[in-house]
Structures are given as C-alpha cells and as structure tokens.
Structure 1
Amino acid sequence: MGRRAQASWVCAGGCQDAAEPWVNSRALRAPLLPVFLFLLLLAAPGARAAGYETCPRVKPNKLNVHLVAHTHDDVGWLKTVDQYFYGIHNEIQHAGVQYILDSVISALQEDPNRRFIYVEIAFFSRWWHQQTNATQEIVRNLVRQGRLEFVNGGWVMNDEATTYYGAIVDQMTLGLRFLKDTFGNDGRPHVAWHIDPFGHSREQASLFAQMGFDGFFLGRIDYEDKQIRVERREMEQMWRGSTSLKPPTADLFTGVLPNNYNPPEKLCWDMLCTDSPVVEDPRSPEYNAKSLVDYFLKLATSQGQQYRTNHTIMTMGSDFQYENANLWFKNLDKLIRLVNAQQANGSGIHVLYSTPACYLWELHKANLTWSVKKDDFFPYADGPHMFWTGFYTSRPALKRFERLSYKFLQVCNQLEALAGPAASQGPYGSGNCAPLNEAMAVLQHHDAVTGTARQLVAEDYARQLSEGWGPSEVLLSNALARLSGSKKTFTFCRDLNISICPLSQKSASFQVILYNPLGRKVDHMVRLPVSKSSFHVKDPSGQTVPNSVVVVPSAEPQEHYPELVFSASVPALGFSIYSVTKISHQKPSIPLPNSISRKFRSRFRVLAIENEYIRATFNPDTGFLTEIRNKDKNLLLPVNQSFFWYGASSGDLESWQTSGAYIFRPEGRKPYPVSHYAQIRLVKTPLVQELHQNFSAWCSQVVRLYQGQRHLELEWTVGPIPVGEGWGKEVISRFDTPLKTNGLFYTDSNGREILQRKRDYRPTWELDLWEPVAGNYYPVNTRIYIKDRNMQLTVLTDRSQGGSSLGNGSLELMVHRRLVKDDGRGLQEPLKENGSGLVARGRHLVLLDRVGEAAAGHRLLAEKEVLAPQVVLAPDGGALYHPQATPRMQFSGLRRELPPSVHLLTLARWGLNKLLLRFEHQFTVWEDSGRNLSAPVTLDLRDLFSSFTITHVQETTLAANQPRASASRLQWTVKDGPTPHPAPFTLDPSSITLQPMEIRTFVALVQWKGGWTL
C-alpha cells in the first residue's frame, strides 16, 4: 500500500473497493461495531511516525539548523496568474514559475541530500500537466523519497482576514485532492505554511487542525508580538483554534519563522539577489568562505537562543526564487559542508537540508510542554504606524463579486448532485462547476480577495470569476430542466444590483425560479426591475401573491426605475417557481417616492418606517436614523447612523507611512462627516417601507423594512469617491448609541466563531499603540456587534470589511476607500480603482435584541445572507423534459428539513457515483442554551435526500483527503494540562452526531432516483 504506514481498512456491509472503507447504509438496522484505528505517535527515540520516515538524521548534541529551500509564488499580484506562470512581462517583475519548477527538479536530481518544498498547487498542477511521462515519474520518485515535499497543499496560500471559511475549505480541498490523486499518501502535506498572509485568524488554525495537519508555520506577525516572543522564547506554542471543540480537535502546534520567509541577511544566492557567492579558494582575492562561515555560526547561535530546542529553522528562498536553482543549491552545498567541517574544531552547529515537516518532527521528539494561545494574530503591523488593516476593505466590489460567486458555486455543486448526470450533459450542452471552483480557489489568494493586487490583476481575477459563471449557468439550466421537468430558456440576471434585467423589464409574462441552497425553508423578498405597470404574481400552487411596485429614484429628477417586490417561500435545498404577468389593461398605481425638502421637514413630528417587529425613527431635520425599536421584545435604543470619511495620510513628521491598498493610516483620529444632513424620500407600500437618503453626489443609502422582517436593512451606495483635492478618503458607516460597552466589541472569525475585542488592548502583550484608529481595526467577515448587560446591536455585512468600536457605544464599518498614494509594500500603485474610481453598493443588516437571545438571530441571518436564494428567470412556456414528465413547480432535495443548528456546508459531486457531504453544527457551546441550539444534534443520513439514495458512506477529515478512521496527528503536551487523546472513532450513518462547531465530512456512494448513474 505504499511507503507510509497504513491503518487497516474495515468495511461493514461490503466494500466497493479494497482501498476505500465504505459503510453500507442498507444494513444499518443492526448497530455497527466500533472501529479503533489510531496510531501510537509517541514513538521510541529514533523511530519515525507515519509521514516522517524520510527525514534526515540530526545530531542530538548539536544545534541543528534546518535549511528550508523554498519559493513563494503569488497566484497573482503585480502580474496575472498566467503572466507569472509563463514568465511574461518580466519588466514588471522577473518571475516565471514554470522555469522555477523545471530548474528545481533538475537540481534535486544532482544530489540526493538536497530538498525543496512547494506550496501553490494552482501553479504546480498546471506545470504537471505539461510534463512528459518520464518527468512525472522523476517527480513521483522525488516526492516518494521526501526530497520534494508539499506543504500546505491548497490551490493557493489563502488570506485569513477577508476569506469566508467555506471558501477556505473548498480551495484547500481542491489542492489536496490533486496531491492525493497524483501522488497518493506520499504527497499529503503534514504541515500548514502561511508565510505571507497579513495576520492570522483563529478559525484558520481550527480548520487546518480539522484537516489533519500536525503543525502550522507563520511568517508575518505583529512586530511587537514577535519582539516579546523572542524575549520569552515563545516563538513556538500550541494554538487553540476553538472554544467549543474539545482539545485536541482544533489545537494546532504553531511556529513563527525567524525571518518572515526570507533568507538571513548576506545569505541570499538567487539570481534575483546581490549577495556574494561562497568563494572557498584561498588563493582567490575574492575568498570569503571563512568570514561567511564565522558569520553563519554567530547567526545560528543567536537565532538558536530564541527557540526552546536544539533545533532552529532558516528559510532559504523568497518570492519567485529558484528560477536558476543551481545558484542556490551550489552555494548551500558549500555552506553546509564548510560549516559542518567546523565540528572537528569543536563547533556545536550542525546544518542540514530539511523541510518544515522534518523540523516539526524534531520539535515533537523533544517532548516539551508548550504554552497555549487562545486569541488570534490580528491586526498585523510591521512598525509603529504601519497597520495592515486597510486591505480588510480594499476593492469592495471585487470582495462582493467573490462572495456572490461562493454562493453561486454552492448552488452549482448542489444542483449537480441533486440532478445527477443530466446536469453535466443536458439539453443546454455541457455544464461544469470546475471552472468556477478553480476561479474561486484563486480568489482566496492573499493578494486577490484582499484587494491588494494591481488594477490589471484585479480585473483578471474578476474575469476568471465571470468566465467561471458561464459553464455553471449551463449546468444550472440542465439541472433545473431535469428537476422541474420543463426545458426553458433560463436567464441569469447578473446586473440586478443596478436594476437591470431585460427579461423582467420587457416581457409581458415570465417565471421566477428561486433555488434555496439551505437545509431549511426560507422566506425571501424578491425584487426585480420591471416596466411601469401593474403585475399579477402566482405562487407554485397557483395562488395569488401580494406584490408591490416600488420606484427607485435615480440621479435624474424625472427618471424613476420601478421594481417589482413580492414575498416568496422556497423549500429546503430546492426551488419554487413563481409566475409573473403584466396587467396591461390596468392603470399602474405606483407610489412615487415623496421627496421631503428641508423647508417642510419641520411639519413631521415623527419620521419613521415600521413593520410588525421593527420601528426605525429618523430626525426630520437631518434625515439621519436616530432610533430603533424592537417592538416584539419591547427594546428601544437610540442609534445615530451616518457616513464619515478619514483623510488618508500622506506621511508626516512621525512617519513617512501613507495609506494604501494594505495599510490604513488616517490623518488624525476623527473622521469628517460626508454631510450634516441628507435629502430624503419616503416610500411606503403594504410590503415594504423605505427611506431614501442622499448625503452627497457620491454617497447615498436606502433604509428598508420589509413586511415580516426582524431586522433593518441599510443599502448603501458609495462612489466614485472624489480625490480631486489630492487627499485620499476612507469612508465609514458609523452607529453611535448610549450602550455602555467598556471598550469591548465582537467580530466573527471567517464567518464562524466570535472573538471578543478590546479597544487599545492585546491579550498576549502590553500594547504600545501609536495609531489608535488603525490599530483598533479588525476584519469583519460577516458580522460585528456591541452590547451592554441588556441589549445587543449587531450589524451584518454582505462582504468582508474592516470594523471597530472606537468609543463606548460606537460601532463603525469601512465600506469603501480610494487613495492617491502607494503604501510602500511593493504594489507601486495607488488604490484608485480604474483611476476614475468605482461605485460600490452593499447592504448592512441591523438587529437589536436582548443579550443572550441575539446569537441565534445573527448567526442564522448571516447564513441566509451568504446563501440567499439564487434567482433565475425564464419566459413562460417551454417543452417538456421528457414526453411523459409532468412539470414540477416546486421541489425539495431533502425529505425533511435540517435542524436550525445544522448547516449543509457541502453537497458536491466527487467522482463516479460519489458525492461529497459536509454537515456542520453552526452554534458554539455558549451561544443559545435557551432555545437548545447549542446542544449536540443527531442526523440520520440514510433517507435524508429525495433525489438519490446513499448506499455506502465513508467519513474523512475536513479536506476529504484522509479517511477519518486511519487519520492521526502528532500529540503534544501543553501547560494547561495534558492533551486528551481523541475519542474512539465510530461511524453509524443512521446516527451522525454533531457537537457544537463540529464539521463532519463524508464521501458517499449514491444511486439517483430514476436509474441515473455517473
């Protein structure tokens, strides 16, 4: 079964393949026998745990210096992905990944002692498919021997601040699956490697731990944090990634690299470097071997004192290095030989080619007790005035496109799974989710969704997403035709955010198909641009649905854009089809927005919008929101909301540092108001009430309440931000309340668990803060909130943004930024967004609730916001999919709804008759004890789905690249007590229990109803 030690397979009810342990769900009426398949990892001295057999020998009585030869290859930054791979436009940046891999493979063959690590599978997979069979076999041998080691193994090295956890899991799964399919267990990474992301989230550590990684190495952490760690010798410790998952499930050994990810000073021997090579001929006037060896011995000794064992690590490589690998390896060969020769003279230094996994193995063998970290590594600063908190918001339009594409990818995956083979090959041609899957994986790169790439690269990222939508739309059309029984001309209106959809605007009648990717029924307000008319709307059963036509005002006083609004109900994991007909004979009765001038506002005693649950009150003089009342809970909170902007620093006497794509550095502590009052228009219909606020020519907002809605919706539009005066602007939406928050506020971590933040404070060191605004900003992926003893105000976002609470009772989110200076982090281009600037439109959802009852509301609403129903249009009519078929107006892929605390994270095709399933418990242990949403939940998978039957099931680790039954991780000892061993593994598909925050992953053999096979 290969080189690495394997656990025995156990099958119950029959196996389809000897290499895969499947549990037969047809024979589950009798309880299954438990499967105990854990490896003993605390091995005897000198032994190797599974996956570490090829590690080099070290010298126990020496300081062992592990040299790690590596390249860091950004999947887009100054150049596009293709330009980097092929080496195009080297005048921008000299980089050609295909040549790096060619050169490294050649150099590794010359000396069996040499080792190299590689990370970015987006590049490696492309290179691999261009190689001959002979070259591929050479690479397989290098991987088998441990001399070419993959670390991390994701499609990209993802960002950790602006990424959603589901997208992280998807991109890691894509990369790790390629490695497994190509190299088997030999290619499985044991170490996570995030050397360049700009800060690190706790949820990332939790996800990596659940993927089965033994350790995690970081490059960038806050400069003050690193200094303290060096002094305390805490460069390595255990990171506890969850407050809910029982240790060691989310515990991950984490090490901070000594030099970010660059070589030590004077020791860079790449073609891009200028350091002198090793000259060991004493007759040469350039002879420098002795001085370099002496320098290295002092460097190693000094660095070794920062770490706790007799092992230390040095990264020998950097961005796009090793295009001529011979330069690096020839000098490293000499350095190793010359330094080790000094042992004969009493030197205590031993230097060797190594890898992060082999270094980690030696740390594990040291059998020390390690401290535990429970917070995260945000925000990141590399100097007193240099906080990397601007990228939390940079390029908000790209961030929104990425979030929408995540939803569309999940819809594509689910419909492919529900419809079976007919989705891939159907009446509309060949459809495929793979291009969008790869594009989304690329967007998780730490210079993509972050908004920190050059303009031309950002446009290329958007191009990849857009092109990925095309094959997915074909697949959705095939699947909807198959499941509905009717072939229609399905239309995907991508411009609904700017009220454009030709089919709904021009057709006398059309159908609205809503697909719900959640495991529970949802009610959704549909909003479509239409012509100026009245409409008749029918639900799937033919019943009339109330509707309204709401006019959206434009910048032109006489121009108004009508939008049809109606409420739709969509079943779990399914669709509903609504019919819309224009009533041509009926005179339209459209409530126009009432513009209320400042002169006549005094006539309004109270200016408000409300429904049965919420009342929002506005100041008649300013037009600003002033109060929110939760009528259902009898809560009243004064809330003043408006827009402000920080002036972007251009440098000052304290520091040259400017605001840029990465860095947020405001000019002063207080922002400027966009306006002191807003022009307002009021719209009231039976279904929706809106107040339209116009603050300036480039900033406006609609405050909206739909019937039956328990939250307030704020749809903001900002841009193009004026910078004509030469001053960049960073625009925020701020909420001010009288809540006594004591400097505390709360943000999510990649959309999952919540972390408490405290103003001007870090949990692990005494903070010396020079930038009181930027230094208190944190990433907000889906939500941020403040609270006192009684009330909680929560704001949900529709994309990643930066946010903070800079005063008691205050909460702010940065929504857009446009800058005129570069911040000196290599981009060499200001964040001007096409020069003329871009308009960004988004939504904030505001909830007011009682403390202790708010968690269920904001977590479930965040789920609905990320995975809102997908709207597809079609003209009336359409041929039958099969002559004998009956058209279906409503469909659910589930036989029963999932419990509120359970989310179907993944339902996707995985191979021949196989599907990938992930179920997660989306509440923490403390969030909602009142409604019992934090309690464990048990599912029966056997007959859960309506369109297919699960015949066999295997549980895997989170990234689906290891069977859970045979997966094991290195066990560590920590200061707050011994780490317990994982509970014995059992699998019974009739009783799948999810603990709070647990994600369980399954590969299932299935048979589709109607005889479909893949």
Structure 2
Amino acid sequence: MLNVHLVPHTHDDVGWLKTVDQYFYGDRNDIQHAGVQYILDSVVDQLLKNPDRRFIYVETAFFYRWWKQQTDDMQNTVKQLVNEGRLEFVNGGWCMSDEATTHYSAVIDQMTMGLRFLNDTFGHCGRPRVAWHIDPFGHAREHASMFAQMGYDGFFFGRLDYQDRNRRMVAREQEMLWRASESLTPPMADLFTGILPNGYNPPEGFCWDQSCDDPPIRDDPDLEDYNVDDVVTRFLSIAHAQALVYKTNHIIMTMGSDFQYENANLWYKNLDKLIRYVNQKQSNGSEVNVLYSTPSCYLQELHRANLTWPLKGDDFFPYADSAHDFWTGYFTSRPALKRYERISNGYLQTCNQLEVLGGPISRKGPFGAGDSETLKKAMAVAQHHDAVSGTEKQHVANDYARRLANGWAHCQVLVSNTLSSLSGSSAPRVYCEHLNVSVCPLTETSKKVTLNVYNPLAHPVSWPVRLPVNGTAYSISDANGKAVDSQVSVSVCSDNGSAVRRGRGYAVNELLFQVQAPPLGYSTYSVSLLQNGRPSPQSSPLIVTLRDFLSSLLCVCFSRYNASDGNNSESIQMSGAYIFRPNTSTPFIISKTAKTETLQEVRQWFSPWVSQVVRLYTDSRALELEWTVGPVPIGDDLGKEVISRLDSSINSSGVFYTDSNGREVLQRRKDYRPTWNLRQSEPIAGNYYPINSRAYIKDDKDQLTVVTDRSQGGGSIQDGSLEIMLHRRLLYDDVRGVGEPLNETSDIYPEGLVVRGRLLLSLSPPATAADTHRPLAQEVVLQPLITFTDGELHPSTRLEFSGLQAVLPPAVHLLTVSQWDQDSVLLRLEHQYQASESKEHSQPVTVNLQKLFSTLDVLGVSEMNLSANQWKDEMTRLDWKAESGTLGFIRANTFCSAYI
C-alpha cells in the first residue's frame, strides 16, 4: 500500500504582521484574521469527537498562554489527548526560531524554556521527538546539530532552494541523513531530515479552512453538485505523483497553514470524508491508504523501512525560490534590532549568573523584586523567524524591542541586588544604556564615579571603556588602588556625531581606559575629575601602528548597492525585507576620498551619512572599525543597501568561511553549491551568506578575520575581499507577505534610522587564527556589564570577586549558569573549538566540577541532553543507515548540560 499520512497542523507565527498579543487574542483582524486562542479551543473540541483524529502543535509560547487560562477539567482533558498521542507537540521550543540570524546560545535557551514547560506539564508523552521548521528561510547546519544533541529523531522543513529541490525530486533525495558536525563522532550530530512536499500547505485544491476557497466534499448523491468521485480521483493523482519523488511507500501531507483551524470543524469534517472515500477504493483494487498521522508516526515508518539514506554535510543557505529571488536580505534587515537582540542575549546570561551567585536575595533584595524570567521570555520570542530576522511589520518590531526593554528593567533590579550583596555596598547603581552614542548623564556631570565591571566569561577579560565626560584630565585607580593609564579625546559624538546623539547628552570629550575583570566576577574602578575643558590635540604611537596595518594589507571602503525596483527585463522582483536584489552587480563607492582626522584614532567621513572611527588599542588582538550609517538618503527614489568592503592582498581563490549560528565554521565558494550544479543568476545576492559572529578569508600565509557585533549578511565577491552589509533602507515591498517596505524611522530619527556598530579585524597566520577569533567572538557576544555608582564607595566594600575557583581551560566556554529550581542549577560547559581548528585547543579537555565554583557547593551532578529535558543516560534516538561515503570525525566542539 501507498500510505498517505495526513498531518493536521497550524502554523502560528509568534509575531509577524501582528504582535504576539494581537495574534493570541485575535485582535487587529483588519491586518490579518488570526486568533490562536480560538484555534486551540476549536481543535481540542474537535479531537474529542473522533478518536482517529490527530493534531500537532509547535509554538509553546502560545500554548503556555492558553494553558494558563484553562480549567482543571480542560487541562485534564488535554493531558488525556496528549497521553493518547492524539495531540502531539513537535519542535516544542518557545517559538520556531530563525536559523540565519540567531546565535546558538539564544536558540538553546528558547528551546529549553519551551521544552521544560512541556516536560513539567505532560511528562514523557509531551516530549517532542521531531524538530519542525516549516517556515524559516534557509536552514543552518548548527541548528541540525543542536536538534540532534537535544534528542530529536528527525527534522522536517518546507523551504529549500528551488534548484536543490528540483534535483532532489529527480534523484528521490528529499529525505536524507544530515551529518551536522565535522567534529562530533557520528551519529552524535546526525539527524534524519525530510523536505515536505508542499512547503507547509495542503495539496492544491484540498484546503478546507475558513480562510480557503476550495469547495467542500459534497457527498450526498441526491445533490447535483455531488463531487466525491472528482475529489478522490484528484487526490489519488496527487498521491501517486508525490510517491514518485520520495523513497518509501509512506508519504506525508501537511493539512493546514498559517493560523488555520480557528473553526476546526471545517477541516476535520472534510478530512474524515476524504479518508473514508479514498480508502473505500481499496475494495476496487486501489493501493492507497490514507490515515490521520503525525510527523513522529511518519518518521517511525521511514525508520522501519530500513533503507540507506543520502548524506548531507553542508547547509541550506542561501535560499532562493526562483532565479532572481534570493532570500539573503534579511541577513541584515533591521540592524538596530539585531544588535539589541544580541546584547540582550549577553545581558540575560549575566542576569542568570548573578541570580545564581546572589541566591534568594537577588530576586528580593534592597532594590526591590527582580527576576530573570521576563527577559528570558522576551529573548525567547525574539528568536522567532519573523523577529530577529527583521521580516516583521514595523509596529511588531517595536513590540519586540519593548519586550526586551521590559526584560532589561526586571534584570537590572536583580543585578543591583546581587552586586550589592556581593560587594557589601547598598549604594544605588546607575545603568548607562547609551554609551554606544557617548551618553551617560552620571559621567557627564559627576566629579567622582565608581565603575563595577562584571565579566560573564569563564576567562579573565581586558576591555576598553569609553566614557562621555566634560573634563580634560582624570585619575583612575583599579581595585588594588593602582593607577590606570587613560587618555581624553574630543568626542566623535560632539561634532559630526551629534546626528546620532539627538540631544540626549552634552559631553564634549571621551575618557578611554582599559579594564580587567576576573572570570565570572567583577572588578571595581574609581574615576576622579582633575581638570575641566577641552583636550588639546595629541599625537600617539597608536596611530602609526594603525596606519601600517591599513596601508600594508587593507583597503576599507564603504559602498552601496542600489536596490532593484523590479522594473527590468529579467525579473520584476524588488529588494525588500527578505529579498536582496541589487539593480547592478557593481557597487557604488560612497566616496573615493574620505575626510580624515587623526587624533588618538582615525576618524573618517565618507559622506554626511556614512562615517567610521578606526582604533587599535594597546596590546589588542584586533583592529576596531566603528561604523555609523544613516539616515540613508532616499531623495533620489532609490533604496540603498550599504556595505563595508575589506580588500586585501590575500589570495583567497574564491573561497571564504562563515560561522553557523556563531559556532562551527563552514567553507563557502563563490558561485558554487556542494550538492548540485548551480546555475547562478544573481552574482551578488546569490553569493551572500549569514554571518552571525565571524567570517574570514585566507591563503597559505595570512588569514583575515572579521568579527561582527550582530548577525549580518556578507560574502567574498572578489578574491581577497570580504564585504559585510551594514544597513538597508528600501522603498518597495518584496511581495513575501509583510506588506510594507523596509523603510525604518522612529521618533528620534524621523528622517531615517541611524545605526552604529563595530567590526573587529584580525590578521594572523591561518594555523593560529582560531586561537584569536574564537575567544574574540565570545567576548563580543558576552561583553562585560558596566554599572556606575556616584561618588566614593564605603571603605569596607568588596572591590573584586570571582565566582570561579580557577580559570577554565581556553577550550572550554561556560555557556550556561542558570537557576533551575530552589536548590539546583543548570550548568552548560562547551568545548568551543572544532576538530583540527587549533593544534593546541581542539584536543579533549577535562574539567573538575567539584573545583569549579568558589561560592557554590556541588553536592551532586546529573548529566542531561542539550535542552535539559531528558537525562543523558535515558536519551535514545533512532539509528539511521547512511549511504557510502561517510566521513570520520574526532570528538571536539561538544556541549555538556548538567543539573547540579
């Protein structure tokens, strides 16, 4: 028999055209008719009417809300449906995360939050066995690796490049074994992966939702419009055609779509009929059997087939749905939101750590009641594939940012409570959240301030601090009373940079000095004003070194692509929030010559709306490029996509490297795909890839690495060159559903958004480059938290603290320290180097947990899977046979989750 697995489902975006709240309650149906609470109400009611019916649900963020509103009787009813397998959770994270623009640590957190709720609520039967990413716009290898380490048996998605799909259909390779790590010993990161036949929609003509126009099954033979025979014939034709491009006698059909099943009776009444009438044909020799099913049931049948499956070793980027439609613009869309999400991730890790180190007083202490939960939920929602991706409507993007800000406020109380407890000082703490535009009212006015520098890394950190001030000379001392070198320069924001500041501060100078902080701890610095006024110009040996770096290797320039407006002979596709499509393959140089000032740094103005500050700190491992772009002019009626291009003498031979979700690195090659012969139709957009934390080019002598401070798109269009897209401002919608152009403005920037960020460049021999860029990338993600206190601290204040007994080995990253319940802590340690990446650091490492923390007593340890919803020794996964050509890998780059 050909078994057709019908999977009733709904795809519920955790924000897109409407906010999360609007989607849940069914508000603003003038934008989009969607109400998740009614979907869940209706589905449960319909499942109870026929024990054969099935339904799957994905987004725990919505289900959690609905669950809290139910009576005890309804909750017990739903538990029974889950226990019987009639309601099945798939994926189970707080949301269905984006795969191109998310950092692995934030993905792990949001998956852990959703899966923990399902575990606590439904036990074993509520644990998803299948990862389900039916809507993200391309798929990352690191996501597959994480899903495998979370215990999933399989992974299904709907979107892949149209050329890749066509080849796989012919070869019957739409289901495969994804070997998702070059470092982990198979099958540790192997994941069975299936491509769904219709994206995530039903077959054409078989949609029976209130949002659909397909006719219902009319099965009264006395009526003139009786259509059962036609429906059955069409369905059998579709099923047989689908079977030709899949490998077994089991095929899957997704019966549902965006926010469907609000009136579940429409779907189930027609699906009941479809199953009955198609299966009746078996008495006349039909070999098609239709059944209600779920992805895990379908996967179980594929496993029973006991076949060998083709191997996949790379990823599914970039994604194109036709020749000129590459979904590579969203790698950069909404760069300010992308940065806010990234620093919020770092702040959440700090908040989690200090909640553990502070104990109960962190949540209720001298500064009130604080919590980490608010920011956890906001960050979890922000991982959604229409959140950090930048592909939502503007009012929804504003809502994501508002939620993050609210989470920050709750964590700030917690942080203040803990730092007060650890230091013994109850002095109020000040948080200066606009230091990136040189604004901090306390440092601008006070004659004496104290800095607390908290380091969330498990290794000591040295970090440059730049404070907005109005004096010309300051004395700075560290926790031991030792003087710290410093310098004062005219603030870049006091002149040309005033367009960034917009009246939010008035400091004319910047005070620069270097701080050091111990692992998982803080150090304290005292800053005292000595003299007021403006600093006099000074020369510095810093600049000589910087000029040598630039002139010997690099040309750093700013260019822009003019966005296609769809008015050309090849295609009507426009650039938009999703799609990157320049109207020419040659970027326009914004300025061949830049106005340059040399102070203690190099300041360059390429145009009134593009500038850059170049810095090389003493003993720094990297050159800093601080870029400021905007408001991007649109007076010429052209959308623009601004890039920073780094040209070098490196002979890269068309090859470059990008990270996958901030973790392992993949090789990229211009105009090439590892699994099919590419017909390249967009030479720029078709060679762009997501860069979450770093990218590099290299030859036998040199490796040039760029570390980014947020997720961005980029590529190596010319040999020896890397280009990073910084900002996009567009005038047309790209017709992918969002319904508005990516033309960001705000109350502060009504004429267009101004964005500021940093690129860090390092140049080193390829053999040792990873020893620099790996820790550098972690420092950017988990940068120190600086809090301020006005005046002097009490002499009894504890000025330095470390939560670790000793520094962890360089290969080991402390990924998670989070309060799990009243008496236990979730700990994740990570081997952060790929196999063969570093001669010294890719080797296995041993860590003694008993001697890890300085203030916590480790009474016992139980190892868990990566998402902490299953004991490691109880985790069993389906084994799959790979076709010949398997590769042997050594163990490195691993996670370890523990409950202590």
Q: Same fold (TM over 0.5)?
A: yes
Q: Retained in 1: the 8 A contact 2:864–2:871?
A: yes
Q: Retained in 2: the 8 A contact 1:108–1:114?
A: yes
CA distance in 1, matches of 2:857, 2:770: 35
Q: Retained in 2: the 8 A contact 1:534–1:589?
A: no
CA distance in 2, matches of 1:721, 1:900: 42
- Alignment correspondent of 1:656: 572
Deviation at 1:419, TM superposition (A): 1.3
Moved over 6 A (4+): 557-560, 977-980
- Alignment correspondent of 1:922: 832
Cα distance change, pair 657–963 in 1 and its aligned pair in 2 (3 A): same
Deviation at 1:125, TM superposition (A): 0.2
What do the CA deviations read for 1:575-623 (whole angstroms, capped 9, x no partner)? 001111112xx465724489xxxxxxxxxxxx99547xx5434xxxxxx
What secondary structure is seen at the aligned counterpart in 2 of 1:319? coil
> Structure 2: which amino acid aligns with 1:801?
Q
Matched, 1:705 2:616: yes
Q: Retained in 2: the 8 A contact 1:973–1:979?
A: no
- For residues 240-251 of structure 1, the aligned pairs below 5 Å read 240-251=179-190
- Alignment correspondent of 1:991: none
What do the CA deviations read for 1:698-738 (whole angstroms, capped 9, x no partner)? 10000011111121100000011001111000000001122
Partner residue of 1:276 out of 194, 198, 215 = 215
Structure with greater proportional helix content? 2
Q: Retained in 2: the 8 A contact 1:553–1:593?
A: no
**Structure 1 residues 557-566 or 204-213, which shifts more?**
557-566
Q: Retained in 1: the 8 A contact 2:4–2:253?
A: yes
CA distance in 1, matches of 2:67, 2:394: 29
- Alignment correspondent of 1:778: 689
- Alignment correspondent of 1:565: 512
- Alignment correspondent of 1:616: 547
What secondary structure is seen at the aligned counterpart in 2 of 1:950? coil
- Alignment correspondent of 2:275: 336
Deviation at 1:549, TM superposition (A): 1.2
Matched, 1:936 2:851: no
Partner residue of 2:863 out of 955, 967, 971 = 955
Structure 2 gaps of 5+ residues are 499-505
Cα distance change, pair 591–752 in 1 and its aligned pair in 2 (3 A): farther
- Alignment correspondent of 2:562: 647
- Alignment correspondent of 1:15: none
CA distance in 2, matches of 1:827, 1:851: 43
Q: Retained in 2: the 8 A contact 1:551–1:560?
A: no
- Alignment correspondent of 1:484: 423
Q: Retained in 1: the 8 A contact 2:471–2:532?
A: no
Matched, 1:677 2:593: yes
What do the CA deviations read for 1:917-968 (whole angstroms, capped 9, x no partner)? 0000000111111xx1111000000121011111011100000000001111
> Structure 2: which amino acid aligns with 1:193?
W
Number of aligned residue pairs: give it: 887
Q: Retained in 2: the 8 A contact 1:646–1:729?
A: yes
Partner residue of 2:646 out of 735, 750, 753 = 735
Q: Retained in 2: the 8 A contact 1:553–1:560?
A: no
CA distance in 1, matches of 2:352, 2:86: 37
What do the CA deviations read for 1:235-281 (whole angstroms, capped 9, x no partner)? 00100110000001100000000000001100000000000000011
Matched, 1:367 2:306: yes
Deviation at 1:860, TM superposition (A): 1.1
- Alignment correspondent of 1:157: 96
TM-score, normalised by the number of residues in structure 1: 0.86
- Alignment correspondent of 2:501: none
What secondary structure is seen at the aligned counterpart in 2 of 1:318? coil
Structure 1 gaps of 5+ residues are 1-61, 595-606, 618-624, 628-636, 685-689, 881-885, 983-993, 1005-1014
Partner residue of 1:445 out of 372, 384, 387 = 384
> Structure 2: which amino acid aligns with 1:838?
L
- Alignment correspondent of 2:397: 458
CA distance in 2, matches of 1:683, 1:190: 59
What secondary structure is seen at the aligned counterpart in 2 of 1:762? coil
Q: Retained in 1: the 8 A contact 2:494–2:508?
A: no
Matched, 1:898 2:814: no
- Alignment correspondent of 1:542: 481
Q: Retained in 2: the 8 A contact 1:248–1:979?
A: no
What do the CA deviations read for 1:304-355 (whole angstroms, capped 9, x no partner)? 1111110000000000000000000000000000000000000010000000
- Alignment correspondent of 2:20: 81
Matched, 1:843 2:758: yes
Deviation at 1:221, TM superposition (A): 0.4
Cα distance change, pair 593–820 in 1 and its aligned pair in 2 (3 A): farther
> Structure 2: which amino acid aligns with 1:233?
R
- For residues 946-985 of structure 1, the aligned pairs below 5 Å read 946-976=854-884
Q: Retained in 2: the 8 A contact 1:150–1:188?
A: yes
CA distance in 2, matches of 1:713, 1:722: 26
CA distance in 1, matches of 2:806, 2:541: 41
Matched, 1:910 2:820: yes
Deviation at 1:978, TM superposition (A): 8.5
CA distance in 2, matches of 1:865, 1:683: 25
CA distance in 2, matches of 1:927, 1:753: 10
Cα distance change, pair 508–82 in 1 and its aligned pair in 2 (3 A): same
Deviation at 1:285, TM superposition (A): 1.9
CA distance in 2, matches of 1:393, 1:608: 36
Q: Retained in 2: the 8 A contact 1:893–1:947?
A: yes
What secondary structure is seen at the aligned counterpart in 2 of 1:271? coil
TM-score, normalised by the number of residues in structure 2: 0.97
- Alignment correspondent of 1:41: none
- Alignment correspondent of 1:257: 196
Matched, 1:590 2:535: yes
What do the CA deviations read for 1:273-297 (whole angstroms, capped 9, x no partner)? 0000000112212211100100001
CA distance in 1, matches of 2:898, 2:590: 51
- For residues 284-323 of structure 1, the aligned pairs below 5 Å read 284-323=223-262
CA distance in 1, matches of 2:534, 2:822: 55
- Alignment correspondent of 1:143: 82
> Structure 2: which amino acid aligns with 1:922?
Q
What secondary structure is seen at the aligned counterpart in 2 of 1:906? strand
Question: RMSD in angstroms over aligned alpha carbons?
Answer: 1.7
Deviation at 1:460, TM superposition (A): 0.4
Cα distance change, pair 486–626 in 1 and its aligned pair in 2 (3 A): closer
Q: Retained in 1: the 8 A contact 2:645–2:723?
A: yes
Q: Retained in 2: the 8 A contact 1:593–1:682?
A: no
Cα distance change, pair 248–97 in 1 and its aligned pair in 2 (3 A): same
CA distance in 2, matches of 1:199, 1:836: 33
Cα distance change, pair 674–608 in 1 and its aligned pair in 2 (3 A): farther
Q: Retained in 1: the 8 A contact 2:471–2:529?
A: no
CA distance in 1, matches of 2:805, 2:135: 45
- Alignment correspondent of 1:716: 627
Q: Retained in 2: the 8 A contact 1:390–1:664?
A: yes
- Alignment correspondent of 2:71: 132
CA distance in 2, matches of 1:773, 1:488: 54
- Alignment correspondent of 1:668: 584
> Structure 1: which amino acid aligns with 2:547?
A
CA distance in 2, matches of 1:467, 1:295: 52
CA distance in 2, matches of 1:976, 1:171: 36
What secondary structure is seen at the aligned counterpart in 2 of 1:382? strand
Matched, 1:802 2:713: yes
**Structure 1 residues 866-875 or 347-356, which shifts more?**
866-875
Q: Retained in 2: the 8 A contact 1:921–1:995?
A: no
Q: Retained in 2: the 8 A contact 1:551–1:593?
A: no
Matched, 1:195 2:134: yes
Deviation at 1:224, TM superposition (A): 0.6
Matched, 1:827 2:738: yes
Deviation at 1:508, TM superposition (A): 1.3
- Alignment correspondent of 2:522: 575
